Amino acid sequence: MPAPTTTLLIEGTFDELVDELAQYIDNLKKAQGDESSDIQAECAQLIQENKKDDVLKKLVTGSPALNQAPEKEFIAAYNLLVHLIKQSPNLNMFLPRVCQNLSSPIQSSPSNGAGLALSILSTVFNTLQSDNENRYHVFLAILRVIRGSSNFETLKPQLKNLDQWLVQWEMDEEDQRKLYLAVTDVASEVGEEEQAYQYLIRALRTIPSNEASSEEARELSLRALKSALTHPSHYDFQDLTDLDSIQALRNSDPVYFQLLEIFNADLLDDFNDFKDEHDGWIEAEGLDSAALNRKMRLLTLASIAASTGQARSLPYAHIAKALQIPLLDVEMWVIDVIRAGLVEGKLSQLNQTFLIHRSTYRVFGENQWREVASRLDMWRNSLVGVLQVIQNEKANFIAQKEQELREVDAKMNGAGLGTQQSYRKQRRGDGEADLE
Amino acid sequence: MADTDSFLHLARPLGPAPVGAQPSTAPLSVVIQPQAIFSILDHSLRRNPDQERVIGTLLGTRTEDGTEVEIRNCYAVPHTETAEQVEVDMDYQKQMLALHLRANPREVLVGWYATSAELNTFSALIQNFYGQQGDGTWPHPAVHLTVSTVPGQDIEARTYISAPIGVTAERAADSCLFIPVPYEIKYGEAEKSGLELISGAKDREDRTQGILTDIESLERAIQHVLDMLERVSNYVNNVLDEEAEPSSALGQFLMNALSLAPKVDPADIERDFNNHIQDVLVVSYLANTIRTQIDLSNRLATAALTLGTGDALTGTGGGSGEGGQKSGQGERRGKGRGGQNRSNES
């Protein structure tokens, strides 16, 4: 059952409502000294001629005046306008204008203006059918308002529906990209780097493979790559390397691509070789060398932890050598890498080893899948064993219960006899005692 | 409950703010406790056959800034609806609210419910009644919860708050805009497993369901886990056979989940287990010894009674420590004699 689409509930005919709204707008304008405005009369005339669209055009043209309406009346008046233009078959004609008006600042309420505009825009958004592509434009307007008021927090929980919406709106890839980039901009402006990066990746995914080497794709890819490299808590580069547009960098920007490869799978030594080979390149590109070094060390530690196999322990000396750090700093680095979520484990100071519980595989290949499969099998087998034991015990329990029942029955039957015998014995014993 | 609606909730309408605080348009969210839903459904089942929907009042708590409303309780309010007009028993509503507030002052009026997903102008009227100044939820927005109760279909719940619409006071009085707000039905683990058990009865002829014992539910849980494992390993095998698209994120996640078991040496386990089992054995040995001791002394005590020499009887009658000792002696003597006699006889 779909949700009710009419959430605007108002009584009164179209004509009456138009008249009221027109009068209200006139009053607002007059209050600002614009005496010439007479939308009410014009509308009345047009209604007489039954030109609804023209009436609405008049109202929408006059609607910027609503931005001066007092806070308390603003929402009510705008809702009325939304209600009216929704009656028109040519909704597309009016919506852009309304969105534009709402995106401009609302003079009457400097502190809550954005909230008011957002509330009207979301009403417009919600009253449109969920597969109406106008929702896309309204959403862009919402993003603009949010960007202007740095209000990303309110939008964040709602973004999870975005993919579903895009499917419903049947947007082409260009428009999707535009939307994702808008979200990226909004997110990065308020410092939500991780979110911004996620949406940047999504924008990159919308680039079709035959355009992967276009200039726009290149710029976006470089931007994504740079933010991935410098982001302090982003360690997964596989999603990047899977992208066509990133693969296209192999030809256009080979140095960047090489760096990406190193961060994706290689160790610190390779990174140092790279630095020797391209001396000064990192600084020239404006990348933070210290941050890259640190990240590379963490990744290297994750790699060597993953490569220990079944032993699942690493001597301190080995770590120190791979990370090119003094033996004393090993524990600090291990703690850092655990905090980054790449590895989990215990430090054994006594044995000078690091016992690994879990480590992240930077490249998830076939061997890793095999490992997963074998562990799954192991788990399943042991569970089957446990189940077997439980079932056996249950069967035993039932059998035992039956056995007991049978014994009780047998006792009941043989009861008279048994007590008599023992009684007799007792009597004999007593008799003997008396005899003595 | 199906929730396929797509809507955006970014800001609530600007309401009057309490003194000293800035009015805010922060979005609102609603948490529903299942017992409220149950009593709404119950109310819906008991309605008059000619009534399309029934309504009632929602009670609950509100956070200080009003951004989160929790619906905890509700009660029915009688109302009649015809094509032209709607009547709500306001006196009843007021009395009930006062009584509830006396019983539980922390649960305040938060809004109202209706047992149909439909919104109409009567809804707007009732909504304005609940949101009004004085008896209503003012200055907070009233929450409207609709629960669809069409037999044979899934139950769908929706929550709304309202915003005014219209530029004149008369217009605004009987109309409003319903703004959908996100909600969440919260229930605990215990409630969930209880409900699972009850819903097990719905597929059975006699509509009954026995309560599972611990061991049975353990068995069932293991079966359940096994089924899930089966599903996962199917996927993994498909990946290995190159039939399914591998997702490294998924693989990584599985790997992480599977390596949650801490790393322990089998030798260590064996050693620890052996140590432990020795402790257990010692304890059970000691326990057995003590039990034998108790058994023995019990038997000795009863034997004295049945044999019944003079001083043993007085001893047990007195019940003192000395008497007990005496009776013990008596017993031994008695038994010894009995044994002697029997051996003599044989």
For residue A202, the model assigns a pLDDT of: 86
Task: Give A24→chain B minimum CA distance, Å.
Answer: 7
Q: Would you call B310 helix, strand, or coil by DSSP? A: helix
Closest CA of chain A from B165, distance in Å: 4
C-beta atoms of A115 and B14 within 8 A: yes
Q: B14 contacts in A (CB within 8 Å)?
A: 71-72, 74-75, 109, 112, 115-116, 119
Nearest to B123 by CA among B216, B183, B55: B55
Angstrom distance (rounded) from CA A310 to CA B259: 12
The CA-atom distances, in angstroms, between A152 and each of A115, A161, B2, B85, B257 are 12, 15, 28, 44, 32
Closest residue to B226, CB basis, from A368, A380, A433: A380
Instruction: Please state the separation of Cα B68 from the chain's center in Å.
Output: 21
The answer to whether A319 and A333 are in contact (CB under 8 A) is yes
Q: Which residues contact A384 (CB under 8 A, 6 or more apart)?
A: B226
Encoded amino acid at A3, one letter: A
Query: Nearest Cα to B10, choosing from A398, A155, A281?
Result: A155
Contact B165 A125 (CB under 8 A): no
Whether residue A276 is predicted with pLDDT greater than 50 in this model: the reply is yes
Nearest residue in B to A7, CA atom:
B178
Spatial distance between the Cα atoms of B248 and B252, rounded to a whole number of angstroms: 6
Q: Do B12 and A119 touch (CB under 8 A)?
A: yes
Tokens of B170: 């008369």
Residue of A8, A72, A312 with shortest CB distance to B177: A8
ipTM of the complex: 0.70
**Averaged pLDDT score across all residues of chain A:** 81
Is A434 within 8 Å of chain B by CB?
no
For residue B320, give the DSSP letter.
S
Q: Nearest CB to B240: which of A77, A79, A370? A: A370
Rounded CA gap, A80 and A66, in Å? 11
* pLDDT in the model for residue B226: 92
* Tokens encoding B33: 């406790």
| Overall average pLDDT of the B220-236 stretch | 90
Tell if the CB–CB gap between A9 and B218 is shorter than 8 Å. no
Answer yes or no: do A387 and B120 touch at CB < 8 A: no
DSSP state of A51: -
Confidence band for B6, pLDDT divided at 50, 70 and 90: low
**In degrees, to the nearest 5, what angle opens at C-alpha B207 toward C-alphas B201 and B212?**
45
Per residue in B152-168, pLDDT (tens digit) is 888 888 898 888 887 77
- Closest to A245 in 3D by CA, of A207, A279, A282, A272: A207
Q: How far is CA A313 from the centre of its chain?
A: 34
In whole angstroms, what is the distance from residue A235 CA to residue A299 CA?
7
Give the model confidence (pLDDT) of A88-136 as tens digits.
777 778 888 888 888 877 777 777 777 788 888 888 888 887 777 888 8
Inter-chain CB proximity A158 and B10 less than 8 Å: yes
Measured distance CA(A253)–CA(A243) in Å, rounded = 15
Nearest CA in chain A to B175: A10
For residue A179, pLDDT over 50 is answered with yes
The per-residue pLDDT for B75 is 92
- The most confident of A35-44, B279-288, B329-338, by mean pLDDT: B279-288
pLDDT (tens digit per residue) in A350-375: 888 888 877 777 777 788 888 888 88
Note whether A150 and A26 are within 8 A (CB). Answer: no
Beta-carbon separation of A4 and B233 below 8 A: no
Over 50: is that where the pLDDT of B319 sits? no
What CA–CA distance (Å, rounded) separates B72 from B80?
25
What is the pLDDT averaged over residues B1-22? Answer: 57
CA A147/CA A187 separation, integer angstroms:
9
Chain B touched by A309 (CB under 8 Å): no
Place of tokens 């693969």: A247
Residue A224 and residue A237 in contact, taking contact as beta carbons nearer than 8 Å:
no
Residue among B7, B8, B14, B122 with most chain A CBs within 10 A, to mutate: B8
Average pLDDT over residues B297-310: 71
| pLDDT at B282 (0 to 100) | 94
- Six token digits for residue B333: 């003597």
Q: Is pLDDT of A242 > 70?
A: yes
A 378-417 residues inside an 8 A Cβ radius of B: 379-380, 383-384, 386-387, 390-391, 393-394
Q: How many CB pairs under 8 A join A and B?
A: 235
Per-residue pLDDT, averaged over B28-49, amounts to 89
How far away is chain B from the Cα of A398, in angstroms, using its nearest Cα?
Answer: 13
User: Residues 311-330, chain A: which have Cβ within 8 Å of B?
Assistant: 312-313
- pLDDT higher than threshold 80 for residue A428: no
DSSP string, B172-195: HHT-EEEEEE-EEE---HHHHHHH
**Residue A57 token pair:** 């055009």
Residues 6+ apart with CB under 8 A from B274: none
Alpha helices, H only, A150-214: 152-155, 162-169, 173-189, 193-205
Q: What is the C-alpha to C-alpha distance for residues A429 and A421, in angstroms, rounded to an integer?
A: 12
